[in-house]
Amino acid sequence: MIVAINPKREEWEALLKRPTMELETIEAIVKPVMEAVKADGDQALIDFTKKFDGVEITNFEVSSAEIDAAIGLVPEELKAAIRIAKQNIETFHAAQKGEVLKVETMPGVNCYRKSVAIEKVGLYIPGGTAPLFSTVLMLAVPAKIAGCKEIVLCTPPDKNGNVNPAILFTAQLVGVTKIYKVGGAQAIAALTFGTATIPKVNKIFGPGNQFVTAAKQLSIKYGLAIDMPAGPSEVAVYADETAIPAFVAADLLSQAEHGADSQVVLVASSEEIVSAVQQEVQTQLLALPRADLAFKALKNSVSIVLENRAQAIDLLNEYGAEHLILCVEKPWEVADQIINAGSVFIGNYTPESAGDYASGTNHTLPTNGYAKMYSGVSLDSYVKKITYQEITKEGLKNLGPVVEIMAEAELLEAHKNAVTLRLKSLNNV
């Protein structure tokens, strides 16, 4: 990791640059995939799956027999852990339900707002080097709570054309409607346009690599909605003398092992803390099965010493981390000043891994600085907010003249007339 000591503000942008390709470059690669699937449907999926995943699949839908067989392959201990995580995620997301909002803005004028589920949602579950069955929980649990009628899941097959058993177990546990063995940008394209096999959805959810993220962003241009741009994983840790170096190192490595394009950032109050954490990183790295991936990610990463706490907070807000861990004295004082982060982890005993799996919060979070304008996935992500209004005769008498004056000022006579006719009818009664 690069080490920077009290860097000037104008140096922050270069230090914190993510290891990602330019969006235009990625879109140039992804767009032909999208267009091919739009034109050729399932045949394009067959061709791209063979090309990118190295396996020939002609029937993408996972059968009930495959699901039953997979369930038998998942250890009981893991099933129990998944069920506990599901319960915690359900508890947190169910609490986000809101009652119908009703407000009488003036006598006789009643305004309402209620949440209505998005009918068809598509979930993308990364397979790649780490089959993320935990993401099935994070995406499908709130979809079920919201009341989405169709929950369609796409995930890449392995070299044998199979889906990881834990993904299938979790998908059936949470009530996914359909599961398809297709990954990458071609899966996003299938959910965007629909094929003979895979249905078109209204909104696409889920993290992925840079190509999946670019495909999701392109799907917006074709009329779909997405949860957020959620690409390669990242974490920032803010540590002072109260931090435990071994814990900080473990958190950095937990994100670094996601892949070579992940990024970890350490912001520390002294050089001594950086040194202690780096020693722990080297020790722990040697014991990791995915050490090679973590090592590559660490090359994209940086340790920054900022002795001034206010400056450190400014830098963290400028970075807008997907995951932000605060291992500092009085962490809530810092947390209250954080305005840009996907999810914040408070104190030495709150590992980022807890949020990734089972604490209850959602791990599908904005990356690449998008935390400045996007929220992570929540129950709200799966609903539309529809407003209603009901005006009584008394209410129209109160409100009508206001609308008439405003409509006339905008030279919209028909708008005014829609009120005037009603007011005249009331006056004639």
What is the full DSSP assignment across 323-377?
EEEEESSSHHHHHTT--S-SEEEESTT--HHHHHHTSSS------TTGGGT-PPP
Chain position carrying tokens 């078109």: 200
Structure tokens at 55: 């396996």
Q: Which of 234, 322, 352, 363 is catalytic?
A: 322
Q: What are residue 383's DSSP bridge partners?
A: 117
Q: Is 323 a catalytic residue?
A: yes
Q: Which of 323, 329, 394, 410 is catalytic?
A: 323
Distance CA 273, CA 266 (A): 10
What is the full DSSP assignment across 362-427?
------TTGGGT-PPP-GGGGEEEEEEEEE-HHHHHHHHHHHHHHHHHTT-HHHHHHHHHHHHHHH
Distance CA 393, CA 79 (A): 59
Distance CA 125, CA 428 (A): 64
Distance CA 161, CA 179 (A): 13
Chain position carrying tokens 């860097």: 7
Q: Is 363 a catalytic residue?
A: no
> What is the Rg, in whole angstroms, of the alpha carbon atoms belonging to the chain?
25
Distances (CA, A) of 14 to 4, 19, 27, 71: 11, 11, 24, 47
- Which residue spans within 79-169 are E strands per DSSP? 101-106, 109-117, 120-124, 150-155
DSSP class of 51: I
Distance CA 366, CA 341 (A): 8
Long-range contacts of 111-114 (CB under 8 A, 24+ apart): 111/387, 111/388, 111/389, 112/387, 112/388, 112/389, 112/390, 113/385, 113/386, 113/387, 113/388, 114/385, 114/386, 114/388
Q: What are residue 239's DSSP bridge partners?
A: 268, 327
Distance CA 204, CA 118 (A): 11
Distance CA 164, CA 429 (A): 71
By annotation, the residues acting in catalysis are 322-323
